[in-house]
Amino acid sequence: MSISYSILDLSPIPEGGTAAIALRNSRDLAQHAEEWGYSRYWVAEHHNMTGNASSATAVLIGYIAEGTKTIRVGSGGIMLPNHAPLVIAEQFGTLASLYPGRIELGLGRAPGTDQMTAQALRRDLQGSDHEFAQDVRELQQYFAPDQEGQRVRAIPGVGLELPIWILGSSLYGAQLAADYGLPYAFASHFAPDYLQEAIKTYQTYFRPSAQLKKPYAVFGVNVIAADTDEEAQYLFTTLQQHYTRARRNTRGQLPPPIADIEAFWEPHEKAGVMRSLACSVVGSPKTIRLGLQRLLEISGADEILVAGQIYDHAARLRSFEIAGEVIRNLEPDFPGDD
């Protein structure tokens, strides 16, 4: 049994670069990912972040889908409370009409930004979990076949039955995905604490649906791969700096790697950042294989969602190439398998 592997891209803007460069890099990476056997290419919604160019997520998905041929392209995710469900249905219905069979819609409930920006997005900051669940149902209805007497339709969208995923970093998303019978992706690449519990909850309480007959879980992992452990650890300092700056509220663009990360952060910053980045695998192909095999067995997931923010685009391509080669040769051994 082989393991599927996919990419989560935040379209990082390198220090000294531009959003235009980041967007072209994302499409280039997707084109290579298609050649390397990745199943899907997701981009994430973020706003008012100078280091990410993926704010207009549906537009970026269209740009990437236009530049590729077979790989599935989608959102990881659309932060649904930022939007009216009908608007998202129309956007993704349009994408699915242009690129049939290739578009996926992953949904989250976090703002993907700070509170002030969330308010500028017209987000209701008092929204409840119940409202999110209702919005997901509404969105599903827009993609369902036309019903007699239905007065509001998503055009394009109606009847397309677009694949919907639930994303999460807590147990709530796992429970909702299980109840609705939808595939589930856990954001362990930045929130690793509940990885095992969330996927176990999802698998235990899953209820089959028209979209999905048995549970399907994905987990996120940061992979920073290079030909040697030393080179990979050097490249990893970009992400370590980025997370440290976020804690200092000075995130900025994606910084270049540095030779001495210990001189950059304080001990308490290091502890917090490394806890957030606990679901990261950094090193040579051998090190990557051992790390991913361990995480795969711990999680019990069906697919690996690879993230990797690396300053130099060529090094980033090489990292994802190595990751793909390694995952193709992994041997999943889930609890309960014969």
pLDDT by residue, tens only, the chain of 338 residues = 589 999 999 999 999 999 999 999 999 999 999 999 999 999 999 888 899 999 999 999 999 999 999 999 999 999 998 899 999 999 999 999 999 999 999 999 876 556 776 676 665 655 556 799 999 999 999 999 988 888 999 999 999 999 999 999 999 999 999 999 999 999 999 999 999 999 999 999 999 999 999 999 999 999 999 999 999 999 999 999 999 999 999 989 999 999 999 999 999 999 999 999 999 999 999 999 999 999 999 999 999 999 999 999 999 999 999 999 999 988 755 443 43
Neighbours of 208 (CB within 10 A): 10
Query: Domain 4-328, what architecture?
Result: Alpha-Beta Barrel (3.20)
CA distances (Å), 111 to each of 45, 194, 244, 265, in order?
9, 20, 21, 28
**Rounded Cα distance, 169 and 188, in Å:** 7
Please choose, from the candidates 71, 82, 92, 69, the residue with its C-alpha nearest in 3D space to the C-alpha of residue 7: 71
Length of the chain as a residue count: 338
